[in-house]
Every structure is written in structure tokens, then in C-alpha cells.
Amino acid sequence: MISNSKSKLRNALHLEKHINNYFLIIIMLELYQFEECPYCQKVRSMLSELELDFICRNVSRNREERTMVKLISGQEGVPVLVDSANKKVVVDSAKIIEYLQTR
Ligand SMILES: N[C@@H](CCC(=O)N[C@@H](CS)C(=O)NCC(=O)O)C(=O)O
């Protein structure tokens, strides 16, 4: 009986941890990018300089294969920044950098 309660508590704590991680992920900044893209590099540097955590969404080098980028931003170019907490999608490295600096 006691071990059953302990196991329920353990499961509840485990679930809570996952739920907390889930919300942490949604409020984070997401950068759609690929490593060799010089515009993406500029944005990554600024995110580091501002000590901002972000999720890196690595996309194909082939623009026709960037389905999520197209869906989210209405165009295929990267970098694209998604700031879910502020419901913003920002396209173009210069605009993203300006957004990050004034956010
Ligand atoms: N002016 C844009 C240029 C971005 C750009 O040319 N990105 C390339 C990758 S390095 C790209 O995605 N090209 C495909 C396209 O523009 O559809 C910026 O500064 O972000």
C-alpha cells in the first residue's frame, strides 16, 4: 500500500517535471537556421552576446525543403526567429538583431 503511494508520488513528480520542461520550451526563442548560412551566424552571435538561450531548428540547405519555415513565416529564407512568448515571427537577420536588441 505504502509502496503504491510512493510510486504514485514518483509518477506525479516525474510528470510535473515534464510539464515544466514543456512550458520552458514553448516560451523560448527558436531560430530556424543552418550552420553555414552567414546571416544565421550573425544572429547566433547576437544571441550569444545577449546571453539569450534559444532552440536551434536546423533546416535543409535546399530552400524547397523548408516546409516549417514556409509555414511559419510565409517565405523560405533563413534565418527566422520565433518568439512565442511575444507571439512574434521575425524574418531577416538585420531585423532579427534589431528585434533582439530592443526586446
Ligand atoms: N537579407 C536576408 C538574407 C538571408 C539569406 O539570403 N539567406 C539564405 C541562406 S544563407 C537563404 O535562405 N536563401 C533562400 C531564400 O532567400 O529563399 C537576411 O539578412 O537574413
How sure is the predictor about 33, in pLDDT bands with cuts at 50, 70 and 90?
very high
How sure is the predictor about 5, in pLDDT bands with cuts at 50, 70 and 90?
confident
> Is 20 part of any domain?
no
> Is 76 part of any domain?
yes
> Is 50 part of any domain?
yes
Residue 24 Cα to ligand 1 middle (Å): 29
Instruction: Check which CATH number belongs to the domain holding 51 and give it.
Output: 3.40.30.10
Cβ contact 47:29 at 8 Å: yes
Amino acid at 37: C
Residue 8 Cα to ligand 1 middle (Å): 51
pTM, to two decimals:
0.80
Q: What is the per-residue pLDDT for 9?
A: 82
Cell of 73: 513565416
Helices (H), 1-103: 2-26, 38-49, 67-73, 93-102
Residue nearest to atom 15 of ligand 1 (CA): 77
Is cis: bond before 38, omega within 30 of 0?
no
Residue nearest to atom 19 of ligand 1 (CA): 93
Rounded to a whole number, what is the distance in angstroms from the first to the last CA of the chain?
Answer: 53
Domain that holds residue 46: 28-102
Q: Is the CB of 37 under 6 A from ligand 1?
A: yes
Q: Is the CB of 91 under 6 A from ligand 1?
A: no
Q: Is the CB of 33 under 6 A from ligand 1?
A: no
Q: Name the residue with higher pLDDT: 84 or 45.
A: 45
> Is 13 part of any domain?
no
**Could you tell me which residues come within 8 angstroms of residue 61 by beta carbon, excluding any fewer than 6 positions away?**
34, 36
> Is 3 part of any domain?
no
